[in-house]
Amino acid sequence: MDTIKEQYLCKLSFIFNFMKIIIAGAGDVGFHLAKLLSYEAQDTYVIDFDGDKLEYINNYLDVFTKKGDATSINLLKEIGIESADLLLAATESQNTNFTISVIGKALGAKKTIARIDNPEFLKNDVIDFKKFGVDFMISPQELAANEIKMLLNQASFNDTVEFEKGLFNIMGTTLEYKSPILDLTVKEAKEKFPSVDFITIAIKRVGVSQTIIPRGDTVYNFKDQVYFSVPKDSIEKLYPIIGQKQINIKNVMILGGSSIGFKTARNLCKENFTVKIIEKDKDKALDIADKLSNALVINGDGRNIELLEEENIREMDAFIAVTGNSETNIMSCLVAKSKGVKKTIALVENMDYMNISQTIGIDTLINKKLLAASSIFKHIRKGEVVALANLHNIDAEIFEFEVKEKSKVTKKPIKELRFPREAVFGGIIRDGVALMSFGDFQIEAGDKAIVFCLPEAISSVEELFKS
């Protein structure tokens, strides 16, 4: 079983616990969500007009399919919309998704989520869409654009996850030869840097398929991809430990004027980055130039190395490839890296590519379908889980639990909890303060606990947080 499937199988058994789910739209996002949800959902239905897409789903997934119009009241009633725990409207049309959500909610669906394209809907305080039947909205393009901006703001790291608005952060980086913690054990590293608050929560090692949950005697090796849990105030202090200086990104080149490329450029221009966009479609390039006066738009083929040289790629701090072709994005990022660009980010559609970014020399690979799925999981939480996140190239999950009264984790200090070896505490948030969670720490009701765990440990960790 591949790692992506493995991690989500466990995650879904934990979160969804046999739900009835209806997905409208069998495109990329719909298919991916169906793939994830089908593992544990008792009934998963996928609706689409396209018979070929539904046939493909039937061949690969254990779900029900229905050809037809998801806005049809009769069709929704036929598949039992009144008993649906979740309705995901994930067609290519924003308007259709709104319509599906409104109708589905009126017919009895407990929760509705609509895929949208217009970011205004996500940031408005004028219209309460829940009144009309849309409980949550996701924009895969907006999620990808926001992810890129966050990665650029922490450019010395190739993976970043924020909890509680950055109060706690999971930071991933590859250890190079100049890192002071190389060849040290985790315990020795803590002793050498006592003034820095950090917890090493995971290590992805070259040639080792299983993610390593480090203990005190675990040794840091050259080219290890190491993930640290760090309070906001300690992020800058972490740089000497990993042997890097903070990278300040100013000049950014974006390959591809797709929706993600446009949204990324828009976000970066607002924060005063200097942005160049290369788009080979002339009409699209002109349209972007009209909308983004602060960005320089180049009409040309970004696969042309001579063009990249002419546009001073060697002077760029970051190169972001977000065309519709994964291979083009990967290859162009490799070219950019060879020209001395500090930070490279490639958008990939193929899930199989997600685990190879560090091995091939690209800083970060992102997948908008995974980002969309993670966003949905954050909204569809149960019990004590208040947030979920996945890292880009690792077979594990990060949970944020809200500790309840009488929860088992409140009964003893951490070192006496019989916490699974395949999991580790990344920190505790108490009354808005980030606290380090070592062995003697006593967790209290009302705390929020950051936990990193491998798939096989999720159920055991859940038991400890039940009240």
How many Cβ atoms are within 10 Å of 406's Cβ, its own excluded? 9
In order of 7, 58, 89, 346, the CA distances from 62 in angstroms are 18, 7, 20, 31
Specify the CATH class of 144-148+248-371 in words: alpha beta
Question: For residue range 366-399, what is the model confidence (pLDDT) as tens digits?
Answer: 888 778 876 776 555 454 566 666 666 676 778 8
Is residue 134 within 8 A of residue 109, CB to CB? The reply is no
pTM, rounded to two decimals: 0.73
- Residue 434's DSSP bridge partners are 429
Same fold, 144-148+248-371 and 396-465: no
Residue 392 has what pLDDT? 62
Residue 13 has what pLDDT? 46
225: three-class secondary structure by DSSP: strand
Query: Low-confidence residues of the chain, pLDDT below 50?
Result: 1-16, 40-41, 381, 383
Which residue type, as a one-letter code, is found at position 451?
V
Question: For residue range 8-17, what is the model confidence (pLDDT) as tens digits?
Answer: 444 444 444 5
Domain ranges of the chain: 3-138, 144-148+248-371, 156-242, 396-465
In order of 20, 65, 154, 458, the CA distances from 245 in angstroms are 49, 52, 11, 36
- Residue 162's DSSP bridge partners are 169
Q: 156-242 is classed in which CATH architecture? A: 2-Layer Sandwich (3.30)
In order of 100, 224, 363, the CA distances from 359 in angstroms are 43, 11, 10
Which pair of structure tokens corresponds to residue 86?
Answer: 């979740």
- Determine phi and psi for 389, rounding to 5 degrees: -155, 150
Is residue 377 within 8 A of residue 399, CB to CB? The reply is no
Is residue 54 within 8 A of residue 65, CB to CB? The reply is yes
User: What is the distance between the alpha carbons of residues 464 and 452, in angstroms, rounded to a whole number?
Assistant: 14
Residue 383 has what pLDDT? 46
User: What is the distance between the alpha carbons of residues 139 and 368, in angstroms, rounded to a whole number?
Assistant: 9
Burial 317-349 (b: 16+ CB within 10 A, else e): bbbbbbbeebebbbebbbbbbebebbbbbbbbe
- Determine phi and psi for 279, rounding to 5 degrees: -135, 125
- 465 HSE (CA, 13 A, CB side): 25
CATH topology of domain 3-138: Rossmann fold (3.40.50)
User: What is the distance between the alpha carbons of residues 180 and 241, in angstroms, rounded to a whole number?
Assistant: 6
CB-based contacts of 157, cutoff 8 Å, min separation 6: 151, 171, 172, 173
Alpha helices in 300-383 (DSSP H): 305-310, 326-338, 357-360, 368-379
Specify the CATH class of 396-465 in words: alpha beta
Average pLDDT, the chain: 85
